[in-house]
Amino acid sequence: MTIQEIVADILKKKEAVGGVDSVYLVACGGSFAGFYPAKYLLDHASRTLRCAMFTANEFVHALPDACGPNSIVLGCSMRGTPETGEAVRAARERGAATVAFYVQESKMTRYSEYKVQYETIAEDVSRAEQTNAALELQFCFELLHQKEGCPLYEPAMAGFAILDDIYRSAAEYCRPRAKAFAAGCKDEPVIYVMGGGPSMGAAYIFSICNLMEMQWVHSPTVNSGEYLHGPFETLDKNLPMFVLVSEGRTRPVDERALRFLKNYGEKLYVLDAKELGINRLDSSVAEYFNHLVFSSVLNNVYLRELSYAKKHPYQNRRYMWQVKY
């Protein structure tokens, strides 16, 4: 089934129990953070749906009371993380409609009522509009369109059609900048990453998946709206700060934090969505695409260049898939 067909089928079936009133986004690690664009959309553009994100194991152990027949639960895992499979199973037992976003079949896909296969962001041949975060965002645009009527729907669909071209142009533009970042940070034990609003998920993935997991670098993720309320006390001229500046309504929040960094810091690395071609999208929907451009560029350009400079292959793991955990 297509995403359009899945959404239509869910909404039709849920008419018998009073319709859909909530969406839960459940996953682990990078898959969890990949849901941020979908959550940002539902939080800001929906008039009738409440939305919540949970890391899968917390969802299993503390299943929200409101999750039930009027809910849709989206689970995501590339290979079938056990916790996410259990989360989907628990949601289905509650009567929720369950949709699995996956690369490889697993218990998660077997437990789920519906499934959507995606292309992994890490493969150069993968198209940007077919990655997990992109398809999840498409799902939520479709849900809003069919349930409420969504004026953003047509410009968003046009945006997905050119997303891959925007990403590939941005990747080429960023390559020399990524090399400079790698050269400047290859020996750094700590790299802060800052983002906010629609880009918070991309910042989080760059910290926990790219820098911590794949390069073994300590990397706090700081929300740009929170930076001046505590974390700025750690800043000095030697602290590397990697800053994502979004396009959209929260851009002034990012710019305010960046002004402070420029005044008092020196090791600044800035990735600005405006410089990456996001304004080729309609201004009404551009903010919802920040993550999709940032995350692909960070994973496939910045991570790789840092890996080469550090001589630390990004496939290396000490614990993940190596020991029982």
Residue 85 neighbours by CB under 8 Å, 6+ apart: 75, 77, 106, 107, 108, 111
Maximum pairwise Cα distance, the chain: 61
Q: Distance between CA atoms of 314 and 214, rounded to whole angstroms? A: 5
Q: Which residues on neighbouring strands pair with residue 97, listed in sequence order?
A: 72
Which pLDDT score is estimated for 92?
97
pLDDT class of 325 with cuts at 50, 70, 90: confident
| DSSP character string of 154-176 | HHHHHHHHHHHHHHHHHHHHHHH
Residues 129-165 pLDDT 10s: 999 999 999 999 999 999 999 999 999 999 999 999 9
pLDDT class of 321 with cuts at 50, 70, 90: confident
Which pLDDT score is estimated for 301?
98
- In order of start, what are the domains of the chain with their CATH numbers? 3-147 (3.40.50.10490), 176-310 (3.40.50.10490)
Residues 230-265 pLDDT 10s: 999 999 999 999 999 999 999 999 999 999 999 999
Residues 22-75 pLDDT 10s: 999 999 999 999 999 999 999 999 999 999 999 999 999 999 999 999 999 999
- When pLDDT is averaged across residues 105-111 and rounded to a whole number, the result is 96
Radius of gyration of the chain (CA): 20
Q: Which residue's structure tokens are 């929907």?
A: 285
What rounded mean pLDDT belongs to the chain? Answer: 97
Specify the pTM.
0.96
pLDDT at residue 324 tops 90: no
Q: Which residues on neighbouring strands pair with residue 117, listed in sequence order?
A: 102
Which pLDDT score is estimated for 291?
98
Q: In degrees, to the nearest 5, what angle opens at C-alpha 314 toward C-alphas 309 and 315?
A: 150
Which pLDDT score is estimated for 143?
98
Which pLDDT score is estimated for 39?
98
